[in-house]
Structure 1
Amino acid sequence: MCITSTLHLTFFKTNVSGVEIVNAKRFLELVTPKGNESTCVLALFYYPWCAFSAKSSRDFNAIGKLFPQLNVIALNAYLHNSINMRFGLVGIPTVLFFHNGKIVAKYNSTESSLLSMVSFIYRLTGLEPDLTVNLTEDDWTSPLPTIPQVTIDYVLILSSVFLLFTVCYLIGRSSIFAKIIESIRNTWREAEAQHQHLD
């Protein structure tokens, strides 16, 4: 049990060591309290293709190893945007601390670093990191990707094509476009008439 000035927190750790990448269903299972149990979760909301998410992922991967008694999870906010709307997330990446299904604190730092994340967790919970853990390169670089993943957003491509066709259709139906076409036709006719007169 960890006591802070405002919260009485009990930690029920899952059997996952480090960061657990979850889907929306698993996220809600971990965040929502079960019966009389109290749940505490540190969650990162990220986009796999976002450079800022990749940068913060490195430190977040290490946090999962340094705090084995804390549920540390990550959610691909692009795939599970219903969770974004449910908790009012606007910016990504975002690190939130949940207690019994409610947001207790948001990690705010212009420059994310391991030390500032450790300090954030300590101020909130009183938990100290496990300094006996020897962090390897794998602990820093997985399971969250630390390099932005290149992906093709087919919805964006389809919406762009639809928008282009819609704009072309509306321009083609406008009176200004009709006047431009008529002006071009008149100029063409005059040029033909002048050409015939010269012959």
Structure 2
Amino acid sequence: MKEVNGNFKEIVNKDTLVVVDFYADWCGPCRFLTPVLEKLEKEFDGVEFVKVNVDRHRELAFEFGISSIPTVLMFHKGKIVNSFIGALPEAAVRVEIERALQLIQP
């Protein structure tokens, strides 16, 4: 998963699903969720996975009302289509991504 270092709006304004993990290096649950997202990134072709360090990008965390981490927001064409908070198990994360994909189907 690549880390967002600017151009956030450009990244999430795509026609594909973009899964954004808001995390911090010191966060235990975040360290649990990262390998889950990295595994799913390999399974979901056409879905982009990125991460945002809330300590380095406080303005983005504030803009999206991130008050607990990890928080995952899923974007399509710049709009949030699904989200979850916390270190969910792999099966639950997969369900949330699949739900988001269903929501963006024409």
Normalising by the residue count of structure 2, what TM-score does the alignment of the two structures yield? 0.84
Greater share of residues in helix: 1
Deviation, 1:111, is 5.4
Q: What are the Cα deviations for residues 57-97 of structure 1, in whole angstroms up to 9, with x where unaligned? A: 12111111111210111111110011011111111110111
**Cα root mean square deviation, aligned:** 1.7
Which one scores higher on RCO, CA 8 angstroms, separation ≥ 6?
Answer: 2
Check 1:51–1:118 CA distance in 2 against 1; reply closer, same or farther (3 A cut): same
Normalising by the residue count of structure 1, what TM-score does the alignment of the two structures yield? 0.47
1 CA distance for matches of 2:56 and 2:100?
29
Deviation, 1:29, is 1.7
Matched, 1:118 2:94: yes
| 2:3 alignment partner in structure 1 | 21
SS at match of 1:49: coil
Q: 4+ residue runs of structure 1 moved beyond 4 angstroms?
A: none
SS at match of 1:107: strand
SS at match of 2:7: helix
| 2:65 alignment partner in structure 1 | 88
Deviation, 1:121, is 1.2
Is the CA contact (8 Å cut-off) linking 2:18 and 2:75 kept in structure 1?
Answer: yes
2 CA distance for matches of 1:71 and 1:50?
23
1 CA distance for matches of 2:75 and 2:17?
6
Deviation, 1:26, is 3.1
| 1:190 alignment partner in structure 2 | none
Greater share of residues in strand: 2
Identity rate, percent: 29
